[in-house]
Homo-oligomer: A and B are copies of this chain.
């Protein structure tokens, strides 16, 4: 009785969060421009009501009763995991004073415009006061949330629970040690052809081809749809309605093709969660007030990067699927074969912009940001010293000079929304993808499927070991159950080394 009533209540919280996400999706895809102001108020109200309902006396009483009712079950029972998720989230929210939440919302509301102006004019000074306020606010939030070693750990909790500055430092060191020599070596070798990727590819044909590849890896259109947006994303409104978007560049076809595979990879995590978890804590990020089944942002990114890179940028994939690409773009690919296509879409080209980075150099953009954020939060880096620190790291990692802050420290939207602590998941996703893919292909059904352009066994393996569990296990528990190890960069490094050695003849 108590447990059922508790789940009903969380179902309502989930409904409110889902409604907010539907409004946000609509705002980015369908809403006429005039609707922005009132839409922001509607989204804010839904967020506040979801949070207030979650931490209300009534919900806490229901949770107390539910915990008592399931206390006799084994520690790893689903029912107990449901209660733990809710309890942790309620504790988290109660540690943060309402005034602080309101202050961050306010900062986020004005920050975007300040940042957009500063970026347009490449004028970092104009963004300094906002960023200083954001850093101060996040430091204050970190103190409320609590941490053992480093205040930045508290900020990462919302996105990558369990990850800390101390745990990331050796991981990053290992990645840098392996990947920097690769980047250097590749820079000294001739680049593969990419001219054919820069030809005119009609938008409708790109959209259709990307969607065809997305459904091929398992994206279910009965519970999904693809639209175009300026910034691509995936969002779910329960597993029954999981939508993706893409951006189409008429003269750079990999953008929407791999973007669609990336977002479809995210979507699989949601579409194949256990149906019994719908509207429950195990399919709701109650800490972030975000309707999502994935157990962490990094775990989520592992699925997008796995299907984008390990599947979609593999030699085998294009050996099998290039005929379909050529059928979709007969003129553009007339003088290209599968091997040339595969090499082209894997070209490494160090650049200044994170969202345009290739598979190999992407992590440097992330490591740079995580290190800088942690230093801002612990006070060892001043906001005013940020551009110099940024530019020095870009030079160190990628050998590039940053000509202005628009192409440097002002490029990302994240800080303008009041958020700090969101970046590490991209690299963790890459590392996890390497581990999961290596283990999955040891399964003969999976390997046979990949060799026959049948991606269902791989998707089913991921569903069995990752998707279905939702938020039941921590990210590291999930990794140990699936691969036998916690986070381990070796398979990812081996994957990069092997692929780029072949392509660049290292």
Contacts and interface: CB of A to CB of B under 8 A. Distances in A.
Interface of A: 11-12, 15-16, 18-20, 22-23, 26, 30-39, 41-42, 44-46, 49, 220-225, 237-238, 240-241, 243, 278-279
Contacts of A33: 222
Given A12-B49, A19-B19, A237 B42 contact: yes
Given A15-B46, A49-B12, A49-B49, A38 B240 contact: yes
13 contacts: A16-B46, A18-B38, A19-B45, A22-B26, A32-B224, A32-B243, A34-B240, A35-B223, A35-B241, A37-B240, A38-B237, A39-B237, A49-B49
Given A23-B22, A39-B241, A16 B34 contact: no
A35 B11 CA distance: 16
B32 A19 contact: no
A11 B41 contact: yes
Nearest to A223: B34
Q: Which 5 A-B pairs have the closest CB atoms?
A: A35-B241, A34-B223, A15-B45, A38-B238, A15-B42
A154 to B, nearest CB: 30
B30 A23 contact: no
Given A30-B225, A32-B222, A32-B224, A41 B15 contact: yes
A221 B238 CA distance: 31
A278 to B, nearest CB: 6
Given A22-B23, A30-B225, 9 more contacts: A11-B45, A15-B41, A16-B45, A19-B45, A30-B30, A34-B241, A39-B237, A39-B241, A41-B279
Interface of A, secondary structure class, is: helix
B220 A35 contact: no
Contact of A222 (B19, B34, B243): B34
A374 B133 CA distance: 64
Contact of A279 (B16, B38, B237, B278): B38
Nearest to A35: B241
Contacts of A45: 11-12, 15-16, 19
Contacts of A35: 223, 237-238, 240-241
Contacts of A31: 241
A166 to B, nearest CB: 40
A38 B220 contact: no
